[in-house]
Amino acid sequence: MTNPYLPNIAVIKKIISENEVNDIKTFELVFEDPEIAKNFKYRPGQFAEVSFFGAGECPIGIASSPMDEGFLQFTIKKIGVVTTALHNCKEGDKIGIRGPYGNGWPIEAMEGRNIVIVGGGFAFTTLRSLAKYILHERNRERFKELTIIYGARDPGELLYKQDLEMWGKRSDLNTVLTIDKEVAGWKGKVGYVPTILKESAPSSKDAVAAICGPPVMIKFSIPVLTELGFPADKILLSLEMRMKCGIGKCGRCNIGSKFVCKDGPVFTQKELQEMPKEH
Amino acid sequence: MKAKIMDKNELQDFVDELTKDYKVFAPVKMNRIFRLKEISKGKEACLGYQNTRQPPKEIFFPQTEILFTYKMDKEGVELEDIPLPNEKRVLFGIRPCDARALVFLDRFFSSGDYKDISYLEKREKTTIIGLACNSPLSTCFCTSLGGSPFGKEGMDLLLEDINEKYLIEILSEQGAKLVEHIPWLKDAENADFERAKKISEEAESTIKLKIAVEGLRKKFDSMFDAPLWDQIYQKCIGCGVCTYLCPTCWCFDILDEGTPTCGRRVRIWDTCQFPLFTLEASGLNPRPSGKERMRQRVMHKFNYFPKDFGELVCVGCGRCVQACPVNLDIREIIKAIMNT
Amino acid sequence: MRNIENIEDSIREVARKLLNEKKVELVIGYEKGTLPLRTAPCFIDNPDDVDKLAWNASCDANLSKYLIGVDKRIGIIAKGCDARSIIVCITEKQIDREKVVIIGIPCAGVVDRKKIEAEVDGEEILEARVTGEKIMVKGKNFEKTLPKKNFLCDSCLTCRHRNPPICDIMVGNKVPEITSAEGFAEVSYLEAKSADDRWAYFTKELGNCIRCYACRNVCPLCYCKECFVDKTLPLWFGKTNDLSDTMIYHIVRVLHVAGRCVDCGACSRVCPMEIDLRALTKKTEKIVKERFNYEAGISLKEVPPLGTFKLEDAQEFVIE
Amino acid sequence: MSLVKKAFETPEKAGEREIWEPRIIAFLCNWCSYAGADLAGISRIQYPPNIRVVRVPCSGRINPYFLIKSLQRGWDGVLVSGCHPGDCHYVSGNLVARRKFAVLKDIMEYIGVEEGRLNFSWVSAAEGERFSRVVKKVVEKVKALGPAKRLVKR
C-alpha cells in the first residue's frame, strides 16, 4: 500500500499568461519520471492536487486534453497561498502533482450526441479540456454537433485565445463568444452568458449540456437550459467546492452523502437537485 | 466462545506480561481527567474511570501527523515517506462504544480506492482489549444506537468485571494469541458466565434513556430545511469540542510547514464547526453560519454517512453532551427531530 | 438572605414586560440544562415562553458574547462580570449601548462543577440542587451536602464587582462586595517559582490543549473577523497541536486580552482538557494593574491601557 | 526525522562542534537606532557580529508576532531598539510600543522563557558608542543563556 498523499515531482516547462492583468497563468508541466508520465491516464474534467512544497497543495482542474501527449496543463488564478507561490515560480521549477482525481465528464454517455458547452470566466479550464478532446481528429466523429458558448467580463479575461481563434475557423463546431459589456473593437456578442445562451438556443434534441462557471451564471443558465428542453439528467455541472485531500477522506467537500472530489466534481442537475442545497 | 478468568489483583501482572513484548496504551489519570497514554508497567494503568476524556481515535489518528518530509535543492526534490510503526501494540481498557467507533473508522478509512495506510497500518498492528461498563453514565445512550455496555464489536478481548474477578472473553484469534502468552490464566466456568450475564443485564437496564432511532435516517431526509435548525444552533459558539472529542469524527486538514527548501507536510484534525472548513478561495462559504454547520454535524452522523455505509455513525458515548460548553445536547436534537 | 426563587420570578417578569412593550426584540438568559449543575444560554423572543428563563448558582456562562455582531435590541441577563464584559465591548464599539437593556443580577458567586465532581472523586452526579448556602448532590450510591462557599468558581472567590457596575434594571438587591481577598495569589505563587519550574508547569498544562478554540469562542473579547491562528497569508503560527504552536497560541491570545479581560472565568470553565487558563489571564490582569493601574470594564469612559500611553510609563525593563 | 530538524534551522547555523555563537535578530528603528548603528560603523566602533539587523520605520511598527515568531524559528535572542521617549519621529510610536513590550516581556518571562531572550533599548542617532555597548551586553546575556530551546519549533 503506497502513501496516497505522496505527490509525484513535475517540472514546469512553459508558463503562458492568460490575461493582461497576469493573475491567470497556464502552467505546462512534464513529470520528472517518464514512468509516472506514462501511467498518468486521465479523462477531461478530472483534477489533480498541485503542491508547492512549503506552501501546501490545492486541487486544480486539468486544462490539457488527454490526447495531448507528453505534458499536462493547469490554468491557475493567483488568489491564495499555494496559487501565489505557484505564480512566483519560473520555468524549470519543480512542483508536486498527485492525481488524477474526480470522475470527469462522462465521455461514454456523451458519445453519439450533440454537445453544448457553456463556460463562464475563469472556470473554462476543464471545459476546454473536454472541447479539445472532442475536436481531436480521432474522436470528432464519435460526437455529433458541438456548440461552445463562452463568456467573460471583458476580452482580456477570455482564456485560451489561440484555441478560440482556431475553433472560430473550424466548420464542425459553432463557437459563440460573449463579453459582459461593450468594448471597442470587439466583434463577438455582448451580454451575459445566460442571455446569449437563450439567444443562440442550441437544440436540445438528443443533446447533453456541460456547464461550468461562477455560481450566479449557473443559477441563471440552468432555467434557460431546462426551457430549451434539456432534461435534468442531461445537464452536467462541474462543482467547485473547497477540497483538500482529493481522495474522499478529509470530509471538506462533503455534500449530503456524496464527496465532490470522489463522486464528482461532475454531477448531473438531477443529482444536484437531490443533494442538500449546500454547493 | 472460550474465556479465561483472573483475579482482580492479578490485573497488574497481566498488563506487565503484555508490556514485555507489546507497546501498551492504557487509561492514565492526568490531574482530573483520564487519557490513553503509553505505559511501561501495569500499575500505571487505572481502570477506575467511566471513560477517557479523549476517544482512542487519537492513538490511531493523531491530532498532528506527518505525511512526508521534503527536501529541495538544485538537483531536485527528495521526498521522504514516514516509516510506518512496526512494533506490535495493545490498546488496553477501552469501552465498548469506543471500540465500536473504531470499526466505523476502519470502514471509512479503507473505503474507496485510496486507503489511508498510516491509520490502517496502526490498526492492524494493535490488539484491542476492552473493558465492559458495569455502571454506564446518565449521558450514555449506546443502547439506542445498536451498542451495549457489554458490547463486543471491534474488540479482540473483553474484560468483564465480575466483582472480585475479571472474566476475559476471547473474541478474535488475535486475542487468543495474546492470551496464550500468559500461562497462569485459568479457564472460565459457567458460573462466571452467568454472573457476567447478570451484571450485563443490570448495566443495560441502568441506561433508561431509549431514543427511538429507527427511521431516524429516513426522517432526516426531509429535515434539511426544517425551521427547527434555526433555534437549535443559536447557543452554539462554534468551537471544536464536540467533534474533537467524538470517537467517530475524522475530518482533517493538510498543510505544509517549513521553508521551500525543506520541511514537512502535516495532517491535523479539523472540524466542520469552523467557518474555514468550507470557505472557498472566491470568498463564498456554502456554510456561512452556525446553523448550516451544526446541521452538517448532525445530518452527517444520522443521514449522510448511513446513506453510504448503512449505519448511523454515532455510538452514544455521550462525550459531546458532557463537554459542550453551552450544554447543547445531541439527544435533545434527536428527540426534537423525531417528533416534528 | 435573598432567596433565589424570587430572583427567577422577577427575571421572568422583567423579560415579559420588555417583550410586551417591544422595548427589546430578544431576551438572552439562562435555561435549565439537561445535566445536573448545568444551565444553557436561551433566547426568548416571544413573551409566552419567558418561563423557560431560570436563575440558579450554575448560571456561569458569559452571555455578552451573543450581543456582538447582532443588530437587534436585546435584553440581557448580566451578572457582575458579564456586565463588565459588556462595558469593555461597548468601549470597543462592538456593542451599541442604546441597543442593549442590561438586566443586572447581583451575583453571590457561581458554582464550579469540576470542583464538585472532584469532591465526589469522579462518581457520577445524577441530581444536584443549590439552596442558599448548601449544595445537595446525589449519585448512584451516595448523597452529600456541601458548603457552597468552598465550591465557588475561582474567579468568584476573589470577585470585587459582584454587583454589575452598570445596568438598566437591577433584579434583587445589592450584595455586599468583598474587598479583602487578594485576586493574584495564584499568580504570585507561580511568579515565585524559577523560570524552569514555570516553563515545566506551563508546558505540562498547555501540552494537553487540543486546539478546539472553545476558550477563544466563548470569550466576549475574542470577536476578530479573522483570528491570527486562522490566517494563512501570512501563516504566522502553525495550526498543529505541537507544543510550540499551542503555547504561542495561548500566549498571543492572552496578549490580546491584556487590559480588557474581566476575569469572568469562562475560558477555564469550558476547556475540555481542564487546563487552568486563568493562570495566564490573571497574570495579564496583574501586569495591567501594576503597570498602568487600570481595571477593565468598570466605566464606559475609560480608554483601554494598551490603546493609549503616558510619557512617564515605567521602563525598568529597557537596557540602559 | 533528520530533514525536519534541518527544516527549522536558520541559515548558516553554526555547527555544534565549534564554540557556539548566539544568533540575535535586531529590530532597529530607522530614524534613531539604525542611524546609531550606522554611526557606530562609520566611527569604526567594534561590536560583536552576532546581530542581524531588520530595519523598521519605528519601534511602534513592531508587532509582538515578529518577536515570538523569531523565537519560534530558533533565533537565540531578540533585540528591539528605538528612539528615546520623546524623540520619536512619529511622536508616540515608541511610547505605544513601550507598553506592548512591557506586557509581552512580562508574559514571556512568566511562561518560562529565560530573562534575556527579549531585550529592548532606546538608542538615539548620535549614540554610536552606546549602541555597541548595548549589543555587547545583549550578546553576553544570550551567550550565558546558551542556545534557544524554549518555544523553538522542532
Any domain includes B120: yes
User: B49 and B158 in one domain?
Assistant: yes
- B125 and B197 fall within a common domain: yes
**Residue contact B264–D8, C-beta within 8 A:** no
| pLDDT score, position D1 | 43
pLDDT tens by residue, B49-61: 888 999 999 999 9
Query: Is D99 in Cβ contact with C292 (below 8 Å)?
Result: yes
How big is the CA angle at C303 (ends C220 and C288), to the nearest 5 degrees? 75
Q: How distant is the Cα of C65 from the closest Cα of chain A, in angstroms?
A: 28
CA nearest to C258 within chain D: D103
**Closest to B126 (Cα-Cα) out of B161, B157, B83, B168:** B157
Res. C2: pLDDT tops 70: no
Task: Return d(Cα C91, Cα C94) in angstroms, integer.
Answer: 8
Sheet holding A114-120, edge to edge: A189-190, A174-179, A146-152, A114-120, A207-212, A235-238, A266-268
Residue B223 covered by a domain: yes
Size of interface A-C (CB pairs under 8 A): 6
Nearest to C242 among D65, D107, D153 (CB): D153
Q: Is the pLDDT of residue C181 over 80?
A: no
pLDDT at C5 over 70: no
A90 close to B (CB below 8 A)? no
**Contact list, C203 vs chain D (CB under 8 Å):** 112
Give me the pLDDT at residue C1, please. 44
Domain ranges of chain D: 42-138
DSSP states of B81-132 as a string? EPPPP-S-EEEEEE-HHHHHHHHHHHHHHT-SSS--HHHHHHHHTEEEEEE-
Distance between A48 CA and the closest CA of chain C, angstroms: 22
According to DSSP, the residues that pair with D28 across neighbouring strands are D55, D81
Percent of chain C at pLDDT above 70?
A: 98
Assigned domain for B134 exists: yes
pLDDT one-digit tens code per residue, A138-157: 999 899 999 999 999 988 88
CA distance B174 to B22: 13
- B197 & B250 share domain: no
Q: Which of C190, C313, C319 sits opposite D134 (nearest CB)?
A: C319
Residues D130 and D142: their CA atoms lie apart, in Å, by: 18
Domain final residue pick, B206, B230, B259: B206
- pLDDT for the residue numbered B164: 85
Instruction: Give the span between the Cα atoms of B223 and B242, in whole angstroms.
Output: 22
B96: Cα separation from own chain's centroid: 10
Greatest mean pLDDT among C118-127, D15-24, D120-129 lies in D120-129
pLDDT surpassing 70 at residue D121: yes
Strands B64-72 and B77-81: antiparallel
Cell numbers standing for residue D44: 569604526
pLDDT tens figures, D68-115:
999 999 999 999 999 999 999 999 999 999 999 999 999 999 999 999
Radius of gyration of the CA atoms of chain C, in A: 20
Distance in Å, alpha carbon of C126 to nearest chain A alpha carbon: 37
Please answer whether residues C190 and D110 qualify as being in contact, where contact means their C-beta atoms are separated by less than 8 angstroms.
Answer: yes
Q: If you average pLDDT over residues C181-195, what whole number do you get? A: 89
Which residues of B are less than 8 Å from C266 in CB distance? 325
- Tell me if B50 and C238 make a contact (CB, 8 A cut-off): no
The per-residue pLDDT for range C210-239, each reduced to its tens digit, is: 999 999 999 999 999 999 999 888 889 989
Arithmetic mean of pLDDT over chain A: 91
Q: Which chains touch B (3 or more CB pairs under 8 A)?
A: A, C, D
Containing structural domain, residue B45: 3-206
Q: Is the pLDDT of residue D8 over 60?
A: no
By mean pLDDT, which of C27-41, C94-108, D17-31 is the weakest?
A: D17-31
Residues B190, B236 share a domain: no
Comparing C-alpha atoms, which of C84, C116, C91, C55 is closest to residue C285? C84
- Supply the pLDDT for residue B214: 79
- Asked if B211 and B144 count as a contact pair (C-beta separation under 8 A), the reply is yes
Query: Among residues B206, B232, B249, which one ends one of the domains?
Result: B206
Nearest CA in chain B to C205: B31
CB atoms within 10 A of CB D21: 16
Same-domain pairing of B202 and B146? yes
CB contact under 8 A, C122 and B48: yes
Q: How many domains does chain B have?
A: 2
Chain-chain contact of C235 with A80 (C-beta, under 8 angstroms): no
Residue B303 grid coordinates = 443521514
pLDDT under 70 in chain A at which residues? 1
Q: Confidence band (pLDDT; 50, 70, 90) for D2?
A: low
Residue C3: the pLDDT is: 58
Q: Torsions phi, psi of C287, nearest 5?
A: -60, -45
How many C-beta atoms surround the C-beta of residue B252 within 10 A? 22
| pLDDT at residue B8 is higher than 60 | yes
Point out the residue among C236, C310, C318 whose CB comes nearest to the CB of D122.
C318
- Asked if the structure places residue B211 within a domain, the reply is no
ipTM over 0.90: yes
- Are residues B227 and B153 part of one domain? no
CB C239 within 8 A of CB C285: no
Interchain CB distance below 8 Å, B69 and D8: no
Whole-number Å distance between alpha carbons of B39 and B333: 39
Cis peptide bond prior to A265, omega within 30° of 0: yes
Examine the domain organization and report whether B101 and B70 are in the same domain.
yes
CA B317, CA C111: separation in Å to the nearest integer? Answer: 26
DSSP code at position B142: G
State residue D9's pLDDT score: 57
Indicate the burial class of A140 (C-beta count within 10 angstroms; 0-12, 13-18, 19 or more). Answer: middle
Greatest Cα pair distance, chain A, in angstroms, is 58
Q: Is the pLDDT of residue B281 over 90?
A: no
d(CA C116, CA C109): 15
Q: Are D82 and D29 in contact (CB under 8 A)?
A: yes
**CB neighbour class for A220 (10 Å; exposed up to 12, middle 13-18, buried from 19):** middle
Write down all domains in chain A, each with its CATH number in brackets: 8-101 (2.40.30.10), 107-238 (3.40.50.80)
Confidence (pLDDT) at D5: 57
Instruction: Name the closest residue on chain B to residue C227, using Cα atoms.
Output: B276
Lowest mean per-residue pLDDT among A27-41, B203-217, B301-315, C276-290: B203-217
- How many C×D Cβ pairs under 8 Å? 109
- Please check whether residues B188 and B232 belong to one and the same domain: no
